[in-house]
């Protein structure tokens, strides 16, 4: 088995494939991280303050979140990729493990994003759709862009993240699902979608009320998760797993209010897209023939860097850049223009043989690039065009020309400055067998860490086994927990026992908060509405705080009071309430979470009546509760 693993690593390492999917994967990962940072900034006081706006324990949190946002922005555009990914990885670990996010505001996908971030440290994410790629080209300005080879990467960079981040996760989750009655009944996707706290604003009743459809989806998910680890790499099944996975996580994103989890999982499927699809997409989107030919001074460093930059952003290949010295004289439209004049400006000729120069050339470039058309239109405006013309003239007339020798036309090698380049292209090429042995040992270690989580929490924790009460069970369990702590923190390996029977069993009541306004009218706090749905933007980790920690099958009054305090102190001022004069009403509604299919269960849960069970008041910076001692008995 070990020998087979080494052989497979060597085979995958030798196979070079387009880096397009990895570049897009990096970009989407950065966008998901960026939106989560904006979410944390918006709910900064709710999440990080012991008492929102009143007791601010972490005043520097917004500053560090802004730093993280800058890092995430660098990841999106692919700037200083290695440094940005390392900083992002540290930010995820610090915020998840050393702030209230870890206990009270679990986003449900934090460990997953940490694990992906770890793999991105070793992936060539800077080779496509990145500014780092452009920076490398600009370091040799006299090298024509056509001289650079197409960006490629080892297929290992695609295979390993999918295997571990998706394959292991799915298998672990499927093991847990076998112990949930509603999953065994084929209703694993149906039950959460009938619970008011969990659904999005989209009404999926038409689908939920079809029993056979819901059971088909439920059992398909089980089969998909159990088999993904073993079959996703099979060429003929790759598209099947891609389409089913996309449908599964797109459904989660649209139907449930845990959209960050759905989006985080979706981005991984860019690594599963067949390479032929990327080539087909490129063939479909790119222009069959350039619509504009631009002529530039080959002996001007500024002109060469400009051309490299413009070509980098010409993703649809609509522009053809040619040296004025060797090609302009051959174009019939430019025959009447002297060579000296051609070198003074950036000239362009479109498909209708119309000639442009200076700022008008840039306008045509932006217009022909399609997605930059708005910039071209703005530059065309009378006032802006005049300003741009003066700026262009000042730069063009002061530029320095440098005669180029044959040596400066030869592309230089890229520096081995990323972990991927150092490990997968330097060490792996020089010592392929040593590389494959080391990587095989690392993979075996990761498998052991994952098995520790799956076997301990997916099997022994749930099964009545004879070893539970043995003298050895306690130290083994403690060692297993310690191991899981390390693997969770740094690799994102954690039990994926999401929305199982131990979550929904007894989940028969939900709570909401209203307040009395200045006119004596009762209003709903913009948190939970009359149906019982958690309103946007209280989704993701805020939903987790209320629906998974504050309100559970067995409600803990201490925890409930803590989160009522946080919610009222946060949303009160945001709705213009003076906490001193406000009276908040705690309402309760009965719902049902059956493990068997019930027609129109979602609307039945929506339409149940609310009853008042208590009030909450603020006095100064203190809050008082008038609540039953045990809500579970109501």
Q: Is the pLDDT of residue 141 over 80?
A: yes
The pLDDT score that the predictor gives to residue 282 is 86
Does 32 reside within a domain? no
Q: What is the spatial distance between Cα 593 and Cα 427, in angstroms, rounded to a whole number?
A: 55
Report the pLDDT averaged over residues 611-629: 93
pLDDT bucket at 406, cuts 50 / 70 / 90: very low
Provide the pLDDT for residue 403: 64
Residue 409 has pLDDT above 60, yes or no: no
445-454 pLDDT, tens per residue?
A: 999 999 988 8
Phi, psi of 534, deg, nearest 5 = -75, 125
Q: What is the pLDDT of residue 404?
A: 55
The domain boundary, picked from 390, 409, 428, lies at 409
Domain boundary at 391, 409, 427, which?
409
| Coil vs helix vs strand at 409 | helix
3 state SS of 232: coil
Q: Are 249 and 265 in contact (CB under 8 A)?
A: yes
Q: What does the radius of gyration of the chain's CA atoms come to, in whole angstroms? A: 30
Which residues on neighbouring strands pair with residue 616, listed in sequence order? 584, 625
Contact, 612 vs 513, CB < 8 A? Answer: no
In degrees, to the nearest 5, what angle opens at C-alpha 599 toward C-alphas 595 and 604?
90
CA triplet 497, 502, 504: central angle to 5 degrees? Answer: 105
| 316 domain-assigned | yes
Q: Which of 345, 370, 366 is nearest to 357 (CA)?
A: 345
601, 194 contact by CB (below 8 A): yes
How far apart are alpha carbons 70 and 629 in whole angstroms?
A: 47
Question: Vertex 333, ends 327 and 337: CA angle to 5°?
Answer: 75
- Helix H or strand E segment including 594: none
405 and 514 belong to one structural domain: no
Rounded Cα distance, 152 and 127, in Å? 8
Locus of tokens 């300003």:
387
Distances (CA, A) of 191 to 216, 235, 504, 601: 14, 34, 9, 9
Strands 152-154 and 319-323 come out as unpaired
In contact, 193 and 217? CB cutoff 8 Å = no
pLDDT digits (tens, 9 = 90+) for 511-531: 999 998 888 889 999 999 999
Confidence of residue 413 (pLDDT cuts 50, 70, 90): very low
The closest alpha carbon to 480, from 453, 446, 502, belongs to 453
Asked, for residue 105, whether it belongs to a domain, the answer is no
CATH number of the domain residue 361 falls in = 3.40.30.10
Token readout for 139 is 């370091």
Is residue 444 a contact partner of residue 9, using CB atoms and an 8 Å limit? no
Using the predicted structure, report yes or no on whether residue 569 has a pLDDT greater than 70.
yes
Give the pLDDT confidence of 63-103 residue by residue, as tens digits: 999 999 999 999 999 999 999 999 999 999 999 999 888 88
Which residue from 505, 485, 456, 474 is spatially nearest to 175, judged by alpha carbons?
A: 456
pLDDT tens-place string over residues 325-358 = 877 767 887 877 888 888 888 999 998 999 999 9
Rounded distance between C-alpha atoms, residue 96 and residue 343, angstroms? 57
Per the domain annotation, does 434 fall within a domain? Answer: no
Using a 10 angstrom Cβ sphere, with 0-12 exposed, 13-18 middle and 19 or more buried, the burial of residue 59 is exposed
Task: Kindly report, residue by residue over 205-263, the tens digit of the pLDDT.
Answer: 999 999 999 999 999 999 999 999 999 999 999 999 999 999 999 999 999 999 999 99
Q: Let me know if residue 353 belongs to a domain.
A: yes
Give yes or no for residue 433 having a pLDDT over 70. Answer: yes
Q: What is the mean pLDDT of residues 601-606?
A: 97
- Which residue matches tokens 């949930």? 180
State yes or no: pLDDT of 407 exceeds 60: no
What are the angstrom distances between the C-alpha of 486 and each of 36, 108, 134, 387, 452? 24, 18, 38, 58, 12
Pairing between strand 522-524 and 355-357?
unpaired
SS (H, E, C) 424-471: HHHHHHHCHHHHHHHHHHHHHHHHHHHHHHHHHHHHHCCCCCCCCCCC
Of the three residues 409, 438, 469, the one that is the final residue of a domain is 409
User: Of 602, 604, 607, 564, which is closest to residue 585 (Cα–Cα)?
Assistant: 564
Total domains in the fold of the chain: 2
Q: Tell how many helices (H) and how many strands (E) occur in the chain.
A: 29, 11
Confidence of residue 480 (pLDDT cuts 50, 70, 90): confident
- Which residue's structure tokens are 């099958």? 553
Mean pLDDT is lowest, of 269-283, 319-333, 502-516, 605-619, for 319-333
Task: Determine the Cα–Cα distance for residues 314 and 301; give it in Å rounded to an integer.
Answer: 20
Determine how many CB atoms are found less than 10 A away from the CB of residue 415. Answer: 9
The DSSP-derived string for 283-308 is HHHS-SS-SEEEEE-TT-HHHHHHHH
410: pLDDT confidence band, cut at 50, 70 and 90?
very low
For residues 125-138, give the mean pLDDT: 93
In a domain, 345, yes or no: yes
Decide if 341 is inside a domain.
Answer: yes
In a domain, 177, yes or no: no
For helices 81-98 and 473-491, angle between their N-to-C axes, nearest 10 degrees: 140
Q: What's the mean per-residue pLDDT of the chain?
A: 90
Mean pLDDT calculated for residue range 534-538: 96
The helix (H) or strand (E) run that includes residue 493 is none
Concatenating the DSSP letter of every residue in 271-287 gives GTS-HHHHHHHHHHHS-
pLDDT at 103: 82
In contact, 285 and 313? CB cutoff 8 Å: no
Residues 519, 625 within the same domain: yes
- Strand, coil or helix: what is 492? coil
What is the residue range of 555's domain? 506-633
Residues near 614 by beta carbon (within 8 Å), at least 6 away in sequence: 585, 586, 625, 626, 627, 628
Beta-carbon contacts of residue 364 (< 8 Å; ≥ 6 apart)? 292, 348, 350, 356, 376
Residue closest to 615 by CA, chosen among 555, 571, 568: 568
Q: Give the CA-trace dihedral at 144, 147, 150, 151, to 10 degrees.
A: -70
């Amino acid at each position: 088995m070990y020998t087979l693993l080494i052989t497979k690593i060597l085979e995958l390492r030798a196979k070079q494939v387009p880096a397009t999917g990895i570049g897009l994967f990096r970009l989407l990962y950065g966008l998901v991280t960026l939106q989560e940072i904006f979410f944390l900034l918006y709910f900064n006081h709710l999440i990080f303050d012991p008492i929102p706006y009143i007791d601010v324990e972490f005043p520097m949190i917004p500053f560090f979140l802004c730093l993280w946002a800058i890092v995430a922005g660098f990841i999106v555009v692919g700037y200083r990729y290695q440094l940005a990914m390392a900083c992002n990885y540290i930010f995820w670990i610090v915020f998840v493990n050393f702030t209230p996010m870890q206990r009270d505001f679990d986003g449900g996908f934090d460990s997953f994003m940490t694990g992906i971030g770890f793999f991105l440290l070793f992936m060539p994410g800077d080779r496509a759709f990145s500014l780092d790629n452009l920076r490398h080209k600009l370091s040799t300005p006299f090298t024509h862009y056509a001289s650079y080879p197409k960006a490629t990467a080892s297929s290992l960079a695609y295979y390993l993240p999918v295997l571990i981040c998706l394959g292991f996760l799915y298998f672990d989750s499927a093991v847990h699902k076998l112990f949930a009655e509603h999953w065994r009944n084929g209703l694993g996707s149906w039950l959460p979608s009938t619970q008011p706290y969990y659904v999005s604003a989209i009404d999926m009743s038409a689908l939920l009320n079809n029993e056979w459809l819901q059971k088909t989806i439920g059992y398909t998910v089980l089969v998909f998760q159990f088999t993904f680890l073993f079959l996703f790499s099979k060429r003929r099944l790759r598209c099947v797993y891609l389409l089913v996975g996309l449908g599964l996580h797109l459904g989660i994103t649209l139907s449930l209010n845990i959209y960050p989890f759905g989006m985080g999982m979706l981005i991984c499927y860019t690594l599963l897209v067949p390479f032929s699809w990327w080539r087909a997409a490129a063939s479909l989107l790119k222009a069959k023939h350039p619509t504009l030919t631009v002529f530039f001074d080959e002996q001007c460093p500024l002109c060469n860097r400009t051309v490299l930059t413009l070509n980098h952003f010409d993703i649809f290949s609509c522009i053809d850049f040619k040296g004025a010295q060797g090609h302009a004289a051959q174009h019939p439209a430019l025959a009447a223009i002297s060579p000296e004049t051609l070198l003074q400006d950036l000239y362009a000729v479109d498909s209708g043989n119309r000639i442009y120069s200076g700022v008008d050339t840039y306008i045509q470039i932006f217009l022909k690039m399609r997605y930059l058309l708005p910039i071209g239109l703005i530059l065309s405006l009378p006032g802006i065009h005049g300003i741009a013309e003066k700026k262009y003239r000042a730069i063009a007339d002061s530029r320095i020309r440098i005669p180029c020798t044959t040596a400066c036309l030869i592309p230089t090698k890229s520096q081995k400055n990323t972990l991927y380049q150092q490990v997968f292209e330097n060490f792996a090429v020089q010592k392929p067998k040593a590389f494959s042995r080391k990587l095989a040992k690392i993979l075996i270690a990761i498998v052991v860490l994952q098995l520790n989580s799956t076997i301990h929490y997916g099997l022994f924790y749930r099964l009545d086994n004879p070893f539970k009460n043995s003298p050895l069970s306690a130290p083994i369990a403690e060692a297993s927990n310690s191991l899981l702590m390390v693997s969770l923190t740094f690799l994102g390996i954690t039990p994926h026992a999401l929305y199982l029977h131990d979550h929904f069993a007894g989940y028969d009541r939900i709570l909401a908060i209203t307040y009395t306004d200045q006119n004596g009218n009762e209003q709903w706090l913009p948190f939970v509405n009359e149906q019982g749905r958690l309103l946007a933007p209280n989704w993701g980790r805020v939903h987790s705080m209320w629906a998974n920690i504050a309100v559970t099958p067995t409600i803990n009054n201490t925890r409930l009071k803590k989160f009522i305090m946080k919610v009222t102190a946060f949303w009160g001022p945001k709705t213009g309430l003076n906490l001193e004069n406000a009276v908040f009403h705690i309402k309760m509604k009965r719902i049902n979470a059956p493990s068997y299919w019930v027609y129109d269960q979602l609307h039945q849960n929506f339409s149940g009546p609310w009853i008042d069970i208590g009030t909450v008041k603020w006095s100064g910076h203190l809050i008082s509760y008038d609540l039953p001692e045990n809500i579970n008995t109501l």
